[in-house]
Amino acid sequence: MSVPSVISVIDDDPSVRLATNNLLTSRGYTVCVFGSAREFLQSAELKTTSCVIADVQMSVMSGVDLLMHMRGLGHHTPFIFVTAFHDDAVRDRALEAGAICFLAKPFSTPALIECLETALSGPGEAKT
């Protein structure tokens, strides 16, 4: 029996956290939700997370800054970014930092699931 993947959802919008949690839980994933990058970094899930789905724009530490911080700590967890404020420069920075996908809100369920499957299958090509 395989252990379900742990997906950490980090978004400062409670409605996005709830919706993403409900979607991924219905697909059989174990989901942990966090309202900030700091909350995630202080959690036990930092070491058990199979994939991070993070908002790009959050107060104190952005999603891209979180990715770069985690890489600096030696964590190579795949990242999927979501944003309501699509900006090509931010998208390029996120992909250069190692993001698997960059999705604009509102994103479709199939797009998120495809990104998640790509992230969990191992190294691959980034998607936007």
Tell me the domain boundaries of the chain. 6-121
Fold (CATH) for 6-121: Rossmann fold (3.40.50)
- The two tokens of residue 98 are 């190692």
**For 75-117, how does the pLDDT look when each residue is reduced to its tens digit (9 = 90+)?**
999 999 999 887 888 889 888 888 999 999 888 999 999 999 9
What was the pLDDT predicted at 1?
40
Higher pLDDT, 126 or 104: 104
- How far is it, in rounded angstroms, from Cα 8 to Cα 33? 6
**For 56-72, how does the pLDDT look when each residue is reduced to its tens digit (9 = 90+)?**
999 899 999 999 999 99
Extract the runs of DSSP E, i.e. beta strands, from the chain. 6-10, 30-34, 51-55, 79-83, 101-104
Percentage, residues of the chain above pLDDT 90: 71
Look-up of token digits 């996120």: 94
- Give the other-Cβ count within 10 Å of 123's Cβ: 9
- The answer to whether 37 and 10 have CB atoms below 8 angstroms apart is yes
